[in-house]
Structures are given as C-alpha cells and as structure tokens.
Structure 1
Amino acid sequence: MIRILPALLELALLVFCLIDCIQTDKDRVRNLPKVAWIVLIILLPLVGGIAWLVAGRPQRVERRSGVWYADQAGFAESSRPAPPSTRDIDDRLAADQARVDAEFDDLVRRARTRGEGEVPGSGG
C-alpha cells in the first residue's frame, strides 16, 4: 500500500489541477494561455500540477475590513472603479447637512404656525 501512495497522490494532483484548469475562465488564468497549462499538467503531472497551483491558478479574492480590493477581484488596471475622492465625500456630507437643516427649519416653521410658541433648539 505504501508503494502506491506516491502514485495515487500524483494522480489526485493531476485530476484536481486538470479539472480546476478546465473550469477556470480563460481570462483569469495567469502567466500562460489556458491550453498551455492543460498540456503542461497532462505531460508533466507533478511539475505541471504544482506550477498550476503556484503560477497559473487565479488568485483568490480577499476581503479586508469590509472593502473588496479591485486588484484582487479580477479587474483590469484600466477598468478599476475609482475610489471616491474626499471632495465627493465632502459634497455628499454638505448635501446631507443642507437637507437636514431644511427639514429642521420646516419643522420649526410648522410648529410656530400651529402656535406652539418658542421651539427648543430653534435658536430664536
């Protein structure tokens, strides 16, 4: 049994890497064309399989602190979504603040028209 273990491991590596390579989208394969990887895995099962796992297989998408990193998610350099600029964020915050202020002023105006007198926090 111990004599056939290396052959079984090599066969398992061959089958796993071949299936993984065949199922991988051709645009995500790294360093060589997909057909070249398949030929390499079949002709040199041990070396080809290890090479596929190290250099050909697409990298896993990682998630860190709630943010998906575009370079690990398969985006091409030119099609990466641009991170929001601080000006965009400041503009959104200013718009939100203006909306809240307008709603507050509207509530104060309606309270005064109903005759509720001085409204706490209205500043006047």
Structure 2
Amino acid sequence: MLYFGGFFGLLTFGLWLFCLVDVITSDEGDIRHLPKVTWLLVVLFFPLVGSIAWLVAGRPARAHTRPRAFERNTPAYPEYDRPGRFAAADPASDAEFLRRCRERAEEQRRKARGEG
C-alpha cells in the first residue's frame, strides 16, 4: 500500500510540474478563462486540482504544437511554401532573376515619370 501512495505522489508531482511549466510558457493571449497569473497561482497552490483544472479549462485550445521550423525538411517561414515562388537553383538563375527585377523596376519608374 505504501508503494501505491508513493507512486500516486510521484504522478501528482509530475503532473504538477508539467502544468506549472505549461502555464509559464503559454502565451497570455491564448490562455482561456482566467489571466495567466491567476492560473499560475491556482496550479502552484493547489497541485492536483489546479493541474487538472488547467488541463481542462485553462490550457490553450491548440496547446503547444511543434513549430513548423523544427519539422524535418520544412522551411521556417510559410511564405516559402507559396506556389509560384521563385527559388534560384544556381547563381546564374539568381543573377538573371535580379536583372529582370531591375529592368521591371526601371520600366515602372519611366512610366511614373511619363517618359514611356
């Protein structure tokens, strides 16, 4: 019976520690129902009940998914995924792309000045 009590205490401590870290690392705007400081105090002073309440009622709905930057072979910025985005395969293609951009910009400047 003593082992069950120790196991339950260890399990409660682990849950409490997880929830405490989760409250601290969550964004203020994503937390539900109470301010972040209040959730922190509830979880801190009422380990079991506060932790369960945090998981049920306070934790953000999209709780800490892994950022896309950490997934294998996935760029860190979603604008790199958009269709039709130019990505130079070699320095010559990059130089050609920049040359066309400069020509297009110069053409737009001429039109704006009324020269063409």
- The amino acid of 2:44's aligned partner reads I
Q: Distance in 2 between matches of 1:30 and 1:51?
A: 11
- Match of residue 34 from structure 1: 36
- Match of residue 12 from structure 2: 10
Q: Distance in 1 between matches of 2:5 and 2:60?
A: 34
1:76-87 paired onto structure 2 within 5 Å: none
TM-score by length of structure 1 reads: 0.47
How large is the Cα RMSD of the aligned pairs?
Answer: 1.2
Listed as ranges, the gaps of 5+ residues in structure 1 are 62-124
Question: Runs in 1 of length 4+ with deviation above 4 angstroms?
Answer: none
Number of residue pairs aligned between Structure 1 and Structure 2: 61
- Match of residue 23 from structure 1: 25
Select the structure of larger CA radius of gyration. 1
Q: Distance in 2 between matches of 1:33 and 1:54?
A: 15
Give the Å deviation of 1:60.
Answer: 1.9
Q: Report which structure shows greater RCO (CA 8 Å, sep ≥6).
A: 2
- Between the aligned residues of both structures, percent identity stands at 48
